Every structure is written in structure tokens, then in C-alpha cells.
A and B are shown apart, each in its own frame.
Chain A
């Protein structure tokens, strides 16, 4: 039904999106907590910085990543010399690019969830003897789970479709960084590739729909679980 190249692109897309979400999830939780529960100097600036990928052209993000994580970039060099990790032209790099791009979406949905939690509940937990970490794991995290899930799903979907940042940072290498949108773009660029492009477009469409339906079902179950 699907050609090898299409299957490759599909698998790669899923793998990149999964890695990207798993990687950014804990950071997003921490950032969302900082932005909702803490008042600190530079908070507004930090908030703006986190949301930058939403407003910057993806190519700019890809370019900045290239500057930072490229073979001669300040972080890229350390990663290569100390850990023998090379992000440029690799699947991991694609995951990093999509993670950065979808990060604000994830943080945003978690923030909404956190703002919906009555701070009085954490106060109550406190008077009942729960320490900070205990409160987070017993009260805050379970109650923000629907937001975490929604954020993860949105970020996953956005990761599947990320184009500009990926192609700029890790290029378009079959089996390595050629995800669905990149494959679609390649098909469009090659003569007679219209049919292939359409198939890939339909595939993306189906994938997106399935993801959204699954997320909705999960969210419903979660909401029931936390008693709302």
C-alpha cells in the first residue's frame, strides 16, 4: 500500500515527533511552573523568549540552531568533542528542531491547565504536611495532566508537520531527516511527482486526524479520572 520511501518518511516523522515530545516535556513542565507560580526578575523577558519560535520564521530558528549546534557552534563543538554527538544532518537534530518549534505550544497548554488549578488546593496540602516536591507529585501534576496531555498532543502534531526549521538545521536526507513534509516537498520538486505528493498529503491528513481523535478520547478519560 505504501512504498518504501513513504514508509520511511512516515516512520521517521513518528520517530522525530515522539523524541521531540519526550525530550521537551519535562522542560515544558518546569517552564510552565516557573511562569505561573513564580515571580522573578526578567520573567516577562523569559516568557517572550519561550514564545519566540511562534513568531519567528522557522528558517530563522533553524539557522540559529545551526549557529549554536553546528559542527563549529559553541554547543555543537562541545557535544561533538566530549560526547561524540552530532546533531546536524541527524534524526536527533530533526527532533531538536521540532522540539524547539513546538515548545511554546506545549508550555502554553500546560500554563492554561496550571492556571485552572485552585492554588488553595496546594495550600491545603501544605497544611496537611506535604512538602514542595510531595505537593507537586500528589496534587499539581495529576491535576495538570489533561493540560500536559493536550500540550504533548499539540506538540506531537506540530512536530509531524515541522518543515522550515528542520530543513534548515538538518537538511533533507532520505531515511535520516526526510520527514513527511520534507518528502512531500521533494516530491513536488521532482518532475511527475504530483501523484506521490498527493499520497503523502493524504497520509499526513489521516495521521493528523487519528492523532486528534486519540487525544480527545484520552483527555476525556483523564478528566473523568481527576473528577472534573
Chain B
């Protein structure tokens, strides 16, 4: 388990954060730029010393400011993937990959990531690049090499500080599947991002940071509904995330059905594999509420639920509806709330078009 408590003040900025992470898994730290994410990660890595901090990983004390303990970064065994790839320009891809590997202590270490050289190459698709220099690689390739370099140093924890932020959308899509593979290998990761959709795909646990403090935490489903998130991602990006299992998939039409709790959800996912677990975000602005069962509509999903709560926002209402064991959020006008006389306890149908739902792996 990783446990972290940090108090630090730099000028006007104050960071005061405490959390713990159950490994293995992906703990995502989410927040706007300037919220203290990178500072936090650098304290964990040991690149910054905070005024007061306690950091332990699996019983090993890395930082304890009260006891004067501060293990230097080179002895913490972390794999740090920075925002920029930071590859060594005078070494080939092979040289870069071996840099950390050659410096990692040999011998068995149950707590460390153990991944063979060839295995890592295959996992990250690096074989064709081995003899090249970093200057000859594309942005996505560089970041994959950086990921491989960090993995091969046999780290106990992977820190990823916005590893996709320097890439364009296409390159991000190129690297994301590799990160998902790492999650499947149960490598403990701390993933910093200001892109909610990345977290959606990767995180098992989320911390939302705002002005140096934690304003929401929990699993993706919990955090996706958190009011604190609304202020950060904006009303259009808010929506519940639910997880389901692929029941049917038709790669030709792209249509797929998910089993979600006791119900079924129709979605569009050309890459769906029957039996796989996927996450899908139901954006609040895409949901329609009805008080009677609708008929003759093209909308593919119609879910019965009960209104739990209505949050009045300046320009709309955010209605939380319990559907089976899931909660979803619908954003509707205040006039609509009034016309349907919605209140906590109302029975409703939640409508959402299948084409609005695009699951993530």
C-alpha cells in the first residue's frame, strides 16, 4: 500500500493532501493545471522536498519529515514517466531502455514490477525502434520508449505525470491501449491527468485535486457524479460512469449491448469483445427523462429509475436517478423539472440514444 500525506507551501500556493492507495491498481490524480498534481507526484518521487510529508510504500518509509527521513529518488525504485519523454538523446532506444534496467538491483523482489526485456518490447511494440535515436522517433513512439524505460527499471510504483499531454489526439489513442495493458498486468500506477476521459479508461481509484486540496475521491463511478468535479470539467462533461459486460457485439454495424446490473444498455462500440468489461459514460446533457413510458421513439435505451436528488444550478437542474444499482445524472432545464413535477422519489424513465454511448476498454 502506498500512503501519502503532504503539506507544503510555496509562495501563495499551499498543498495539503493525504491519501492511500491499494496496489495494484491505477490511482488517478485529477485536476486543472496548477492544482498541485505535479508537485504532489514530485514529492512522492523525491524530486521535491515538502515542508511536512510522510510517504510510505509497502511498509518502506520514503519520507518522514518528522523523523528526518528522506530517501533519495535514486533509491526509491520508482518508474517515473514525465509529461515530456525525457529520453537520453545520445543513446539509442535500446540504450535508453537498458539505462534503468542496468541500474536496478538484481535478485528477486516480490514488490517490484518484474517484466522481461523481450516481454516489455512486445508489450509496448518497441522491437522495430531499437536501433533508432530518440530524435528519429515520433511523439507517441518516444512516450512508449519512456514507458518501457520506466518499466524495465523494475519499479515498485509507476508514476505517470500527464504522459499523454504532449501528444495530439491521434497519438494519444496510439499510446492509451498500452497503458491499459499495463493496468491489466496489475502494475501499481499513479496516473496524473487533467483529461477526464483518460481517467475514465484507466483509473480504478480517483482523487480530485483543487487548489492543493482533495475535493473528491472514490472509484470512477463515485467521482464521476461528484459535485466538485462539475466545477472543474464543466457542465457538458459531467455524467455518470458505469461499468458493464459486453453481451453481444456486431462489428459490422458497431452496435453492441452491455449487461449493466440487471438491465441492458445499447451502445456503439466497433471494437467490443463479447465478455469484456467496459466503461461507458452517460453524459448528463445526453439523458432525457420521462414520467410515462415512451413509445415510438428511435431512442434505444429506456431505463426505469427513481429520482434521488435534484441539484439546482444557475442554468439547469441536475437530476440524480437511481437505475437498478447505478446512479445516473441528467441535466434538464428548470422548466422541464417543473412541467414534470419531478422531485425526490418520482418514478421516471431515463432515455439515452445508443449513438451517444461509446464505451472505453
Contacts and interface: CB of A to CB of B under 8 A. Distances in A.
Interface of A: 118, 120-121, 123-131, 134, 138-139, 142-143, 225-228
B104 A129 contact: yes
B73 A126 contact: yes
A134 B102 CA distance: 12
B135 A228 contact: yes
Interface stretch (B80-88, B284-292, B330-338): B80-88
Interface string B74-113: 1111111010101011110000000110011000000000
B47 A226 contact: no
A127 B78 contact: yes
B90 A143 contact: yes
A131 B78 CA distance: 14
Nearest to A124: B86
A138 to B, nearest CB: 7
B86 A227 contact: no
Nearest to B133: A227
Given A124-B82, A125-B88, 20 more contacts: A121-B86, A121-B88, A121-B89, A123-B47, A124-B88, A126-B72, A126-B73, A127-B45, A127-B74, A127-B76, A127-B80, A130-B74, A139-B88, A142-B90, A143-B89, A143-B90, A227-B89, A227-B91, A227-B134, A228-B89
Nearest to A139: B88
B86 A123 contact: yes
A120 B100 contact: no
B86 A128 contact: no
B82 A129 contact: no
Contacts of B100: 128-129
A139 B74 CA distance: 15
A59 B97 CA distance: 54
Nearest to A123: B47
Contacts of A124: 80, 82, 86, 88
Contacts of A138: 99
B89 A134 contact: no
B99 A125 contact: yes
Nearest to B80: A127
Given A127-B79, A131-B74, A118 B86 contact: yes
Contact of A128 (B72, B90, B135, B153): B153
Nearest to A128: B100
Contact of A129 (B86, B90, B103, B134): B103
A129 B103 CA distance: 6
B82 A120 contact: yes
Given A124-B80, A127-B78, A128-B103, A227 B73 contact: no
18 contacts: A118-B86, A120-B84, A121-B86, A123-B47, A123-B86, A124-B80, A124-B86, A127-B79, A127-B153, A128-B74, A128-B149, A128-B153, A129-B104, A130-B103, A138-B99, A227-B90, A227-B91, A227-B135
A129 B88 contact: no
Contacts of B82: 120, 123-124
Contacts of B47: 123, 126-127
Instruction: Count chain B CB atoms within 10 A of each CB in A121, A225, A227, A228 and give the residue with the most.
Output: A227
Nearest to B84: A120
Contacts of A118: 86
A130 B72 CA distance: 11
B103 A134 contact: yes
A148 to B, nearest CB: 13
Nearest to B47: A123
A87 B82 CA distance: 53
Contacts of A228: 89, 135
Contacts of A225: 90
